[in-house]
Copies of this chain bind each other. A is one copy, B any other.
Amino acid sequence: MRTKGKPSSMRGIRQLAEHLDISIGTVSRALNGKPDVNEETRRRVLAAAEELGYVANQSGRSLRQGETKVIGLMIESSQEAVENADNFFLGVTSGLQHVFARHKLDLLMLPCPSDEDPCEYLKRMVARRVVDAMIISNTQRIDRRIDLLSRARIPFAAVGRSLSAGNFPWIDLDFEGVAERAVERLAARGHRRIAITAPSSEVNLGYVFVESYRRALEKHGIPFNPSLVIRVKSSEQGGYQAAHELLLLEDRPTAVVLIYELMAIGLYRRMMESGIVPGRDLAVIGFRDAPRARFLQPSLSCFRMSLYDLGIALGEMLLANMPAYRELYPDCGRNIIWPLELVQGESDAFEIEAMV
């Protein structure tokens, strides 16, 4: 007779099966909710697994099934990212997990070391098959990661557009709408010299934003002036720098639109140092509403969006591109421009007198 005591080493499915005195096949089927299992058997298996703390070894499952049930979210921990981490990804993560939990998929964040090429890192992670699908972000104007993933036929979705590859799935913020509404609002209050900030890197959103701004100006009959596009880092420090450069311009702009949420903090500081008060001497419109920008005085006009909802949409878009889940998400757009809603603050609440 077989011993039925609690095995000292509850390693794998074999020990669990022995303990229950049934085959490992049945244990597996019971655990995985397969239909052809006696309900009483299933109950016993589930109870024993719970009691002994058995959870299937993921390597075994992955090897057999050819899938890992893991979705990777690649993030970059560059120095710039580190210094200016905002809550963008943590917020999006909640939405993603909400969607993935429906299918027992786990989200893992893959932080690319700052000293490794992002494309090489991604290639390595993909080739090792630790994830079934990838989410990438911070898309560059030309982004080799997109070609890599397309060629490798790994399901993926991007946060941000790119010129690379053809029609890949992406979701991106409505930079066009932001530029348009900001310029419209400022133009309506008499502003003609409207500056913007833009990232100094090759990140694609910079290109999109500058182009949108140019078109918005055109619409209001304002000539585009390249010297009013201030290229700085996306950080508080960048905001400080931007303010500094604005102050150096002869014929100073009367308004500025910022592309990154935390930039307003540094810009306010630098302006205040020069006795220039946002909302009185200079109209400022920020980008995404951020907790720490909410404490600025005067309050910042900016744009609001739900990171959680963006995460939901992103997650569903990704699943719609995975063979195993495609049919469950038939109506997902492949490309989504995510809208932002204007939050009226005091930082642009004044009118410019008409120039003579």
Interface residues of A (CB under 8 A from B): 53-60, 62-63, 68, 70, 75, 77, 81-87, 90-91, 93-94, 97-98, 101, 106-111, 113-114, 123-125, 127-130, 235-237, 240, 262, 265-266, 268-269, 272-273, 291-292, 294-295, 297, 307
Contacts and interface: CB of A to CB of B under 8 A. Distances in A.
B292 A124 contact: no
Nearest to A49: B127
B63 A265 contact: no
Contacts of A129: 57-59
A58 B128 contact: yes
B77 A82 contact: no
B108 A110 contact: yes
Copy count, this protein chain = 2
Contact of A87 (B63, B82, B123, B297): B82
A235 B60 CA distance: 43
| Most central of A101, A109, A114, A235 by chain B CB within 10 Å | A109
A72 B81 CA distance: 20
20 contacts: A54-B127, A55-B128, A57-B129, A58-B59, A59-B59, A59-B68, A63-B63, A70-B130, A77-B90, A81-B90, A82-B93, A83-B87, A84-B87, A85-B85, A85-B87, A94-B114, A109-B109, A236-B292, A262-B292, A273-B297
Contacts of A98: 113
Contacts of A240: 295
Contacts of A56: 128
A135 to B, nearest CB: 13
